[in-house]
Structure 1
Amino acid sequence: MSILLGCIADDFTGATDLASMLVHAGMRTVQTIGIPTAPLPAGTDAVVIALKSRTIAADQAVAQSLAALHWLRDAGCRQVYFKYCSTFDSTDQGNIGPVAEALMSALGTPFTIACPAFPENKRTIFKGHLFVGDTLLAESSMRNHPLTPMHDSNLQRVLQAQTAGKVGLIEHSTVAAGPQAIVERMDSLQAEGVGIAIVDAISNNDLLHIGAACSGLPLVTAGSGIALGLPQNFRAQGLLDTKDAALDLPPTLGLRAIVCGSCSQATQAQLADAMARGIPAYAVDPLRLAANEDQVADAMAWASPLLPQGPVIVYATASSDRVKAAQEQLGVERAGALVEEALAEIARQLVQAGVRQLIVAGGETSGAVVTALQVRSLRIGPTIDPGVPWTVSLGATPIALALKSGNFGATDFFTKAWSALP
C-alpha cells in the first residue's frame, strides 16, 4: 500500500472538513478516528487521521502527532499534511507551533508553510493578518472562545510565540504572481533562516497557486483550504487519475437527532433558527451536572417519546457570558469535561434508542461523541455547507454523522442538512 497524501488533523470536525475537500478534489480518501487499526481499502489515495489534540497539553499533542506520522511513513505516504482550524485556534504554548516543529524534525525538513485560509468560509489572510469575513480575527467572536481565545490577528506573532524557529511571511503580491514566484520566495526565506512561512490567501485561485508551489515540500501545515491545490500535483505526476472521488453513501434508516456543544456565534444562530422552526430542544447545564443531577437520564426521558416524531436537539450551547460564569465556578477544564462527557453519553444512548442520523456541533463535542460511539473510520459523502460533509461510519451498524465545526454552516444548517442524505 502506498498513500499519496497522509494527513494529521488536530480535531474531528476539521478532519471531516479536510477529507471532504480532498474527495471533491479527486482523491479517494478515508478518515480514521485515531491511528488506523485495520487495513485501508484498496485504492486509497489519501488518509486523514483525526486526533483530539487541539487543546490538550502540547507535549501530548506532539506525541500523538508523531505516532500518527510514524504510521503514515510506514504506509509509504509521499507528503504529510498537518491540518488545524481556519481560525488558527491555539494559545501561546501551542499546539500548532510545537506539533509543526516536531513533524519537521521527524521528517528532516527545515522549511514548511502555514496557511489556515479558507476563503469559501470567509477566512482570508492578508499581510499576515487573519480575517473572519471583513473582521480581523482578534475582533471577531473568536476573541471570546472558551478554550482558545484569539487576541492577535497577526499570524506571524501568534506562531512565533509557539515556535523556536523563525517565522516569515509570503505576501499576497507574491502569491498572485503564481507558483514559481512562491517557490522562489520560499527559497529566499529558507536561506534567511526562516523555518515556517505564513502565506497570504484571499481566494481559491490563491490556494491553487500555493498548492502547486508546495509540490516539493515533505510537510504542509494548513487549514483545509490548501487541499484544493495539492491533488493537482499528484495528477501532474501521473499518480492520480480520478477527477471526482465523491462516493454515494449507503442509506441509514432510523431516527434523527442533533447534539450541540459548540458555543460559537454561528452555532448559537443555528440553534435559535432550529428552535424557532419548532424542533424540540433540551438544555444541558454544567452547573446542574456539577451538582450531580442526572441530566443524561432526564434528557433521554425527555427525548424518547419525541424521537419518532422527528429530530430532537440536546445542547449545551450558551452565550459567552454564561460560559464564563460556569467556568469561573467550576474551572475551565472541569466545566468542559462535564459537558463533553454528558453529551457523549446522551449521543450513545440516542443511538441505542435507534438514532441513525446524527448531527454533532463543535470540535470537542464531536471528538467525545465519536469516541463514545466507538467509531473507527468514516466514509465521506455529500457536502451540506462548505467544510461540513455527511459521513457514514464503517462497521456493523452504519450511522450517518455530520460533524460540524462550531463556526461553520449557514443559519439554517440544522434543518436543511437532512435533505442532503440519500
Structure 2
Amino acid sequence: MMRLGVVADDVTGACDLAGRVVEAGIPASVLLGTPSDSARGDLFPAEGSAAAVVALKVRTAPVDEAVAASTEAARFLLSSGATLLYQKYCSTFDSTPSGNIGPIADALAEIASGTDRRDAASTVRTASAVSIGTPATPGAGRTQYEGTLFVNGVPLAESPMRSHPLTPMRDSNLIRLLAPQTSAPVGLVRWEDVQRGAEAVAARVGDGHILVDALTEHDLDIVAQAVLRVAEERPVVAAGGAGVATALARVSVPGRPSASDSPEKADRLVATAASAVSAVSAPVLEHSADTLPPVPVTGRLILAGSASAATRAQIEAFRGERHLLDPLALADDPTTLARLRDALAARTDRRAQVLIHASPHVAVAQRELGTERAAALLEAALSELAAFAVHELGYSHLIVAGGETSGAVTGRLGITRLRIGVQAAPGVPWAVTTSPGEEGEHSDRGEHRDRGEHRDRGEHRDRTIAVLLKSGNFGGPGLFSDAWEVAP
C-alpha cells in the first residue's frame, strides 16, 4: 500500500499528475494552496493506495517563500498519513540558477530525514534522505538520456522553453541545471543501468539528488520500483514530472501489469537518443478515470494567459467568440476590464464557448512594463474575469491555460479542493470543485483576499463548477473545442 503525498509547485502540474495517477488506477485528490487541518481527515483511505496532491503557486516565487510553503505542505501530508513524499516540478524543469527546484528538494529531504519533522515520530528516521526521480514523462514527449532532457524530440535548450518569459531554459543538461540550486551532491543513473532493472538502479543511488534516465514508460516503472526498494532502507523523496508518480501508481496496484515496450522500439529509441546527445537531435516517443458528477452547463469560459507555442496554436485553432487581453491596455486604460465584463454579461448563448486570451506580443509588454508587472496585470485581470463569470453570472465550466494563470484563478475563486476525472488530453484532466468557493480565503499568498467590487454580491458562490487547468505546453491545437466533449 502506498500513500503518496505530493507537493506540486503549480496548479496545472498538480492536476496533470493527479489525472495520470487516477488513470493508472489509484484515487487522487488535489488541495489548492496550503491546506487547513479540516482537510486532513479523508485524504487517504484506510486500505489501498492513494495520492493526495497539494497544489502551490511557488514555481517562480521568491526562494524563501517557495521553501516555506513547500515544507508546510509536506508536514501536512506526512501528518495526514502519507508514506512517501513526492516533489512535483515541471517536466521541462522550469527553474533558474537560484531555484526553485533545488531549494525545495533540499527542504523536503530534510523533512523526510526527520531533521525537520514536527511530529512525535521525528526521531524515528534520522538517516540522510535521498531524492530520486526524473522530469521524464514520455506520454508528454519529455525524455531523459545521459542527463539531457528532451522536449518532443528537441533538446530542452533548443525547444520553445529557451524563450520562456519567466524561466528561460538555456541548457539541456539536468545535472548542470540542478547543481547551482543546491549544496547537496547531484548524481545521474544512466539508461544502461535502468535496463539492468530496479536492483541495479537502487545500487547506483548515492546521496543528495539523483536524476535517472528514462525513455519509455517501462523505464519509469523500473525507476518507481527502485524508489520503493531504496525507501525500504533509508528515507526517500521521489521527485520529477508526472511520469514517475504515474509509474509509482502503476506498480502499487495489485495485479496491474507494468508498462511495456517492444525490444525493437527500445533499441530504436536508444540509437536515436545516443546520437541525440552528440548530434543535438532527440527521440520522438509515442505514447480508468474517476466518474465525475454531472455539472449542468450554465456558461463556458476559456481563459488563456500562457504564451507557450501549444497555447498559441490552440488559440489560433479556436473558432468561437474571442477577446484579446493586452497588459499594455490594462495599464493604460482603466475601462479595459469593465468592457470585457460587459461583453460576458451581454452574452445570451451560455452553452457556446468564449475565449479571453493574452496578447501574443508578450515581449513588447514586458519591455514596456517589466516582466513581473506585465504578468501581474494579466493574472489579476483573468482571475477577476473568472470570479465575475462564476460568482456573478453563474458560469459552470472553465478552461484555464497556463500554470501561473491557473494559480491566480483558483486563488481568486477560493477553490480549495478538486476531484479529478477524465483527461481531455494527456496531462489535462477535467475536475470538479468539492468545496464551496469562499473567495480569496485560501489563496496561498492571500493576494486576492480583499480585491474586487463583486466580492459580496454574488449569488452563485457555493455551486459546484467544472474546471480544466492546463499547463501552457500541453494539449493539441483543437483542445479548446474538443475538451468539451468529455466535460462533466
Q: Give the TM-score normalised by the residue count of structure 2.
A: 0.80
Match of 1:12 in 2: 11
Give me the whole-angstrom Cα distance separating, in 1, the residues matched to 2:418 and 2:210.
32
State which drifts further: 301-310 or 397-406: 301-310
Match of 1:240 in 2: none
SS of 2:349's partner is helix
Match of 1:342 in 2: 381
Cα distance change on mapping 1:287 and 1:317 into 2, 3 Å = closer
Give me the whole-angstrom Cα distance separating, in 1, the residues matched to 2:389 and 2:51.
32
Give me the whole-angstrom Cα distance separating, in 2, the residues matched to 1:232 and 1:417.
26
Deviation at 1:76, TM superposition (A): 2.1
Which deviations, in whole Å up to 9, do the C-alpha atoms of 1:311-332 show, x marking residues without a partner? 10111141xxx22221111111
Q: Does 1:293 align with 2:359?
A: no
Alignment map for 1:177-192 (pairs within 5 Å): 177-186=196-205, 190=206
State which drifts further: 211-220 or 34-43: 34-43
Q: Does 1:41 align with 2:42?
A: yes
Deviation at 1:296, TM superposition (A): 1.7
Deviation at 1:35, TM superposition (A): 2.6
Match of 1:241 in 2: none
Q: Which among 61, 66, 87 is matched to residue 82 of structure 1?
A: 87
Q: Which among 316, 319, 340 is matched to residue 358 of structure 2?
A: 316
Match of 1:221 in 2: 239
Q: Which among 414, 425, 449 is matched to residue 385 of structure 1?
A: 425
Count of paired positions: 404
Cα distance change on mapping 1:409 and 1:245 into 2, 3 Å = closer
Alignment map for 1:103-252 (pairs within 5 Å): 103-108=108-113, 109-186=128-205, 190=206, 194-215=207-228, 216-217=230-231, 218-235=236-253, 244=288, 246-252=290-296
SS of 2:97's partner is coil
Give me the whole-angstrom Cα distance separating, in 1, the residues matched to 2:246 and 2:78.
23
Q: Return the letter of the residue paired with 1:64.
A: A
Which deviations, in whole Å up to 9, do the C-alpha atoms of 1:1-29 show, x marking residues without a partner? x9811110000000001111111122221
Give me the whole-angstrom Cα distance separating, in 1, the residues matched to 2:290 and 2:15.
13
Alignment map for 1:242-281 (pairs within 5 Å): 244=288, 246-274=290-318, 277=319, 279-281=320-322
Q: Which among 52, 59, 68 is matched to residue 63 of structure 1?
A: 68
Give me the whole-angstrom Cα distance separating, in 2, the residues matched to 1:235 and 1:32.
23
Q: Return the letter of the residue paired with 2:28.
A: T
Give me the whole-angstrom Cα distance separating, in 2, the residues matched to 1:88 and 1:220.
15
SS of 1:76's partner is coil
Deviation at 1:235, TM superposition (A): 4.1
Which deviations, in whole Å up to 9, do the C-alpha atoms of 1:245-296 show, x marking residues without a partner? 623333233110100000000000000000xx2x111111111111142222
Q: Return the letter of the residue paired with 2:420.
A: I
Question: Segments of 4+ in structure 1 off by > 6 A?
Answer: none
Q: Assess if the C-alpha contact under 8 Å between 1:249 and 1:391 holds in 2.
A: no
Match of 2:29 in 1: 30
Q: Assess if the C-alpha contact under 8 Å between 1:256 and 1:356 holds in 2.
A: yes
Give me the whole-angstrom Cα distance separating, in 2, the residues matched to 1:232 and 1:134.
25
Which deviations, in whole Å up to 9, do the C-alpha atoms of 1:63-85 show, x marking residues without a partner? 00010111112112100001011
Cα distance change on mapping 1:362 and 1:307 into 2, 3 Å = farther
Give me the whole-angstrom Cα distance separating, in 1, the residues matched to 2:8 and 2:291.
21
Q: Return the letter of the residue paired with 1:264.
A: S
SS of 2:31's partner is strand
Give me the whole-angstrom Cα distance separating, in 2, the residues matched to 1:307 and 1:207.
49
Q: Which runs of 5+ in 1 are unaligned?
A: 238-243
Give me the whole-angstrom Cα distance separating, in 2, the residues matched to 1:43 and 1:181.
32
Give me the whole-angstrom Cα distance separating, in 2, the residues matched to 1:160 and 1:127.
16
Give me the whole-angstrom Cα distance separating, in 2, the residues matched to 1:89 and 1:307.
41
SS of 2:300's partner is strand
SS of 1:355's partner is coil
Match of 2:284 in 1: none
Deviation at 1:225, TM superposition (A): 0.5
Which deviations, in whole Å up to 9, do the C-alpha atoms of 1:351-393 show, x marking residues without a partner? 1212101100000000000011111100101100000000001
Which deviations, in whole Å up to 9, do the C-alpha atoms of 1:77-108 show, x marking residues without a partner? 10000101100000011000000011111221
Give me the whole-angstrom Cα distance separating, in 2, the residues matched to 1:311 and 1:420.
15
Q: Assess if the C-alpha contact under 8 Å between 2:292 and 2:431 holds in 1.
A: no
State which drifts further: 69-78 or 123-132: 69-78
Cα distance change on mapping 1:410 and 1:80 into 2, 3 Å = same
Give me the whole-angstrom Cα distance separating, in 2, the residues matched to 1:164 and 1:135.
29
State which drifts further: 154-163 or 301-310: 301-310
Give me the whole-angstrom Cα distance separating, in 1, the residues matched to 2:53 and 2:359.
28
Match of 2:370 in 1: 331
Q: Assess if the C-alpha contact under 8 Å between 1:258 and 1:314 holds in 2.
A: yes
Q: Return the letter of the residue paired with 1:354.
A: G
Match of 1:394 in 2: 434
SS of 1:409's partner is coil
Give me the whole-angstrom Cα distance separating, in 1, the residues matched to 2:470 and 2:192.
33
Q: Assess if the C-alpha contact under 8 Å between 1:249 and 1:381 holds in 2.
A: no
Q: Return the letter of the residue paired with 1:359.
A: I
Report % sequence identity: 42
Q: Assess if the C-alpha contact under 8 Å between 1:359 and 1:403 holds in 2.
A: yes
Match of 1:364 in 2: 404
Match of 2:482 in 1: 416
Cα distance change on mapping 1:307 and 1:410 into 2, 3 Å = farther
Q: Return the letter of the residue paired with 1:123.
A: R
Give me the whole-angstrom Cα distance separating, in 2, the residues matched to 1:161 and 1:307.
54
Give me the whole-angstrom Cα distance separating, in 2, the residues matched to 1:344 and 1:164.
37
SS of 2:346's partner is coil
